[in-house]
Structure 1
């Protein structure tokens, strides 16, 4: 077992996993452009590091940038299933899954996340749950420092006209209708009469069914709008807007808000929806349930192409 002192856990389940599975592991796979196999393709690419030790579950550290294809966040089940099929096909359960979604290859700020799943069949996973980890906790689990970079073997996609994020104030009612996605207990179909009855007879407020519904999206959306307006006023443009706004949020706001604000402001996580969602279904569902009037969304624009005003 690892000789490292156990770092503070972020919750009971994380504490149990760290206690049960921490070991001094050896890195046995470091595939900088893992895409699965012909019989088990992955939705996109990511850096796959696999760590092994005797008599304990292996651990995967998956690292991806926004340019690698469908994100680790949106397709966690598919990526983890592909690794299970390709690298541990005879194991009864998948490797423990730690992921890090980077905004760009050199990003050293994005957090590590332990993702737990429900096994629903042979090499089939569902119901991902995210648990934020510190670098010290990852090191404790692996028994060695974690390399959280995209790696020197990263092969960026062919150059395309560079797009920049454009942040807009958007009425929540103007966003597409969220569809049931992963969480049927708190994201039922749009015609659920029970849901309509509940939210018409209860004051709009955060609920406890999941992390998304626990956030106060009215306050967070207004904070994000103010931060984006301040960024524009101070001359920040394009890809400089999010770092400006997030730095200002970290300096001024409570730490508990920073992660939620990060999901509204970071280009790779921000709500992006025109006729359909790229990101943000569950957040928008929670906003609708809470009666949020407006929020910040992002769309991607190629400089030189026709555009509307940067901030609607």
Structure 2
């Protein structure tokens, strides 16, 4: 994920003054490789949190994130720093000092450390972040030890996004949206035009010769398609496997190449009739079916499986 903003570049002098005021030997008391700093959906934000503390000095939070771990450290700086403050140091009057490192990938060894300063508002929220680039030596000076700027061995990459699955359904033509005329005004005129009225009176429930779509016998083809979908479902075939099942059965039954090609347009995931409030695919075929008096046909909708639950635990 790329950042949606460019952080302000603060002066090195400000960082130098802050380092001089807060540098001290500290111990690492927290090392959470999958701290969940945001529950924002669909991508909760996670990062590695190392918290360094010592008596009578301000804690330091060192956070490291890779780009695929949800909203970036830049875009959610205030939210993430506030979540660490509330989770680990709720009684402190100010948040831990915030040092972040945004990695391009797990092997990135060039991205710099950045000190981020905030304004603390009257209601203990954080605002106005400013970014100060730090050298490795400066981070070591602040912590009193060398900093581990890696993502950590406990990093768990996010699960791959689930692929959409085609779901084939038998749908009444009356449940589909009204097709809109396009590209072929001679065979797809408006519903109230004289061409449409004449077509209905002259060629009820018969293929026409105006185009490939209207040349197909969609009454017979839709009956064949619905029967094959029901057979596939009865045989336990689902998802993208239905298309090959149907076409294999159609060829085995001796259907003509033209009929198989027409069935292919109903079952190919890229070509199937797909419509909810409007058409994604299939507008011309549905008009041809309506012209032929087809009552139902096979449509496809896309189902996205639920992603696995996140293993990261909120504070």
Q: TM-score range by the shorter chain?
A: 0.3 to 0.5
Look at both structures and tell me which one has the larger radius of gyration over its CA atoms: 2
State the TM-score, normalized to the length of structure 1. 0.46
State the TM-score, normalized to the length of structure 2. 0.46
